[in-house]
Each structure stands twice: as C-alpha cells, then as structure tokens.
C-alpha cells in the first residue's frame, strides 16, 4: 500500500489534535507515514503518540540545524521524503505556516495543491476534497490532476481514530540548502493557555462583538457554563478587548462548531465567512434588524448583559 505523508503538527513535541485527524484521513488513502520535524529528544514520545492513531511509519527529522527558520526548510524536508517514498498524497495542517509549506512544496514537486479542505474522501481512483468557499456560501469538490496530491486540511475535517499502526521509526537526514535558512524566528511568545477549548476545535463557540461594550464577562460566563471556546468579532478585536487570536471571520479563524452563539455581533459578511457553516446558530442582539438574525436557528432580541447571565444561571441550575 502506498505511503501517505502526514506532517506532524506539534509544539515542542506535544502533538496537536489536527495531526490525529490527518492520520485518520491518511488511512482512507493508504498507509500513514507521520513526518516529525523536531527535537530528537522528543521523537520517542511523538512516535508512540502517532502510532496510537494509526501511523505505520514515523519519519524523524532532527531539527537541530533548522530550528528557528520559517517554512522553507520544512518544504525541503517534505520534498526529499516525497522523492524517496513516492507517496500517494501529502497531508499538511491548513495553518498559516502549513499552507505556505504546502505552497512551496507544490512548486518543488510540480504537484497540484488544494488548501483548506474540510473533507477528503477516496472515490474510485480519485482523492476528492471538499472546500467551503465564498464566505461558506458554496462548497467545491476538487481533485489534484498533476503530480502528488498535496492537501492542506482544516481542523475538524475528520474525527481522530485510535488504533495502533505499525509505528516503525525511521531517522531521516534531510539536506537543507543555505537558501532555505533565511527568514528567522527572532523571538516567540507561546500562546497562553486559556483553560478553554481551542477555538477551531471546540464543539461550542460563544462569541462577543461590539455590543459587549468591552465587557466580556457575560460572554465568558456562558462559554464556561457550556464548556465552550470564546470568540470575538473584528470590531471587538480592533477595540483591544480580545487578542487577534480570538477573531472569528474572514481574516480570523474559520470555525464550524456544533453550536455558535453570537452576542452583540451584527453579522457582517466578513464575520459570517468564519462561522456560517456552524451546525446550529444562536444570536442575542438588541437590534431585531441585525443581519445575524437571517442566519440563526434561534434568536433573542434583547440586551446581552441581561439575557446571558440569566441563561448561564439557568444552565448551572439544571446541571445542579
């Protein structure tokens, strides 16, 4: 069975959930080979983690020489691994950096690239991807018709599947050109843990907009009662009420949870682009004319500062 390369998404050896989702997709296509580019001392832990989600092979690429450089060296690593293993496909997490790695790799391998896949299925001979475009108003099914399919996959595109793969570890010594060692990470400030689920991974997202007036207490209270992630509109981010990493929308995160609760958010097209594929949508807004109400399964016309605390209180009461 052909190998399918999966680039492991990790922070200092802590494997992130999208990796497991990619492994589940890889199994549909062939034999999953995880590619870990990182510290040699973390290799064992990573190998056993990805084995547990079906990796048959784990390529370990020691990053001592390339740590601190952006994008280009990782594209070279994948190019060399692809030339060695002739994979059926290469799956990469659709993060900012992941997509750029995929872009450079596509040129190197003269292969077609599909980004932001929300689903990947094998249909006959083809690997068919699904994307959500035009602010979520359309879905597009596509396939790669030249070279090795390179697919950047969005979080939540598949459910992780536990179950051991063969997990054979292979050290891979890539040759990195000096030209790839250019853009350098001068400083990095790791994101602070919020104690809440990751925005793009959460089953429920509770967001606040300009209508919060900067006071997110009611939004966060409801989020915690529901075990949800907290999101924000760009207006709230631009006002400095929440960091940019909270932003939902065209130029923020695209989320597709089971439940999205928009509070004090008008529902501009750029915000919709980030949330309108959510399964169930709820909004609380003072203005009954707010466009967000066109999207909702359930809407409350009212002041979020009075409605949300009551909702939270009632939920807590029911949870007992």
Partner 1 sequence: MTLSNIVVLVKYVPDATGDRKFEADNTVDRVGVDGLLSELDEYAVEQALQIKEKRSGEGGEEITVTALTVGPAEAEAAVRKALQMGADKAVHVQDDAIAGSDAVATSLVLAKAIEKIGVPELIIGGLASTDAGMSVVPAMLAERLNLPQVTLAAVVETQGDQVRIKRDGDTATEVIGGTLPLVLSVTDQSGEARYPSFKGIMAAKKKPLDALSLADIGVDASEVGLDAAWTQVEETSARPPRTAGEIVKDEDGSGATALVEFLASKKFI
Task: Give yes or no for residue 24 binding ligand FAD (CB under 6 A).
Answer: no
**Count of chain residues binding ligand FAD (CB under 6 A):** 28
CB distance 303 to 309 below 8 Å: no
Of 181 and 210, nearer to ligand FAD (C-beta) is 210
Measure the CA–CA gap between 263 and 218, rounded to whole angstroms.
10
259 binds, among ligand FAD, partner 1, none (CB under 5 to 8 A by kind): partner 1
Are 129 and 115 spatial neighbours (Cβ–Cβ below 8 Å)?
no
Handedness of CA 152, 155, 161, 163 (dihedral sign): positive
Query: What is the size of the binding site for partner 1 (CB under 8 A)?
Result: 91
Decide which of ligand FAD, partner 1, none touches 114; Cβ closer than 5 to 8 Å per partner kind.
Answer: partner 1
Residue 298 sits in the site that holds partner 1 (CB under 8 A): yes
Which of 31, 15, 32, 14 has its CA nearest to residue 23? 32
264: contact with ligand FAD by CB under 6 A:
yes
Distance CA 194, CA 228 (A): 11
Nearer to ligand FAD, 7 or 265 (CB): 265
Q: Exposure of 48 by Cβ count < 10 A (0-12 exposed, 13-18 middle, 19+ buried)? A: middle
Least Å distance, CB 43 to partner 1, is 19
Distance CA 72, CA 185 (A): 12
Q: Cα separation of 266 and 276, whole Å?
A: 13
Distance between CA atoms of 119 and 28, rounded to whole angstroms? 12
Answer yes or no whether residue 122 interacts with partner 1 by CB under 8 A: no
Q: 2 vs 306, which CB is nearer to ligand FAD?
A: 306
* Residues of span 291-320 touching ligand FAD by CB under 6 A: 303-305
Interacting span for ligand FAD (CB under 6 A) from 44-52, 219-227, 248-256, 311-319: 248-256
Which of partner 1, ligand FAD, none interacts with 52 (beta carbon under 5 to 8 A by kind)? Answer: none
């Amino acid at each position: 069975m052909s190998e399918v390369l999966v680039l492991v998404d990790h922070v200092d050896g802590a494997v992130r959930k999208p990796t497991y989702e990619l492994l589940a997709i890889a199994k549909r296509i062939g034999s999953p080979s995880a590619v870990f580019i990182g510290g040699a001392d973390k290799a064992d832990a990573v190998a056993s983690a990805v084995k547990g989600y079906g990796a048959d092979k784990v390529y370990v690429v020691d990053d001592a020489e390339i740590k601190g450089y952006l994008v280009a060296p990782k594209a070279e690593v994948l190019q060399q691994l692809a030339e060695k293993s002739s994979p059926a496909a290469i799956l990469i997490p659709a993060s900012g950096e992941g997509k750029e790695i995929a872009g450079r790799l596509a040129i190197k391998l003269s292969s077609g690239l599909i980004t932001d896949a929300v689903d990947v299925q094998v249909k006959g001979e083809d690997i068919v991807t699904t994307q959500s475009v035009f602010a979520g108003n359309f879905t597009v099914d596509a396939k790669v018709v030249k070279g090795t399919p390179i697919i950047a996959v969005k979080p939540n595109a598949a459910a992780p599947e536990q179950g051991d793969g063969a997990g054979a570890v292979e050290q891979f010594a890539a040759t990195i050109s000096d030209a790839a060692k250019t853009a350098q990470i001068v400083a990095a400030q790791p994101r602070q843990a919020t104690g809440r689920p990751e925005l793009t991974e959460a089953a429920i997202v509770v967001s606040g907009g300009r209508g919060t007036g900067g006071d997110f207490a009611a939004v966060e209270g409801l989020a915690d009662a529901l075990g949800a992630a907290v999101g924000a509109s760009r207006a709230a981010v631009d006002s400095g009420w929440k960091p940019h990493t909270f932003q939902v929308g065209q130029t923020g995160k695209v989320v597709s949870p089971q439940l999205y609760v928009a509070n004090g958010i008008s529902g501009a097209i750029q915000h919709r682009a980030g949330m309108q594929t959510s399964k169930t949508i709820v909004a609380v807004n003072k203005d009954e004319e707010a466009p967000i109400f066109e999207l909702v399964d359930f809407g409350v016309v009212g002041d979020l500062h009075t409605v949300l605390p009551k909702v939270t209180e009632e939920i807590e009461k029911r949870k007992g």
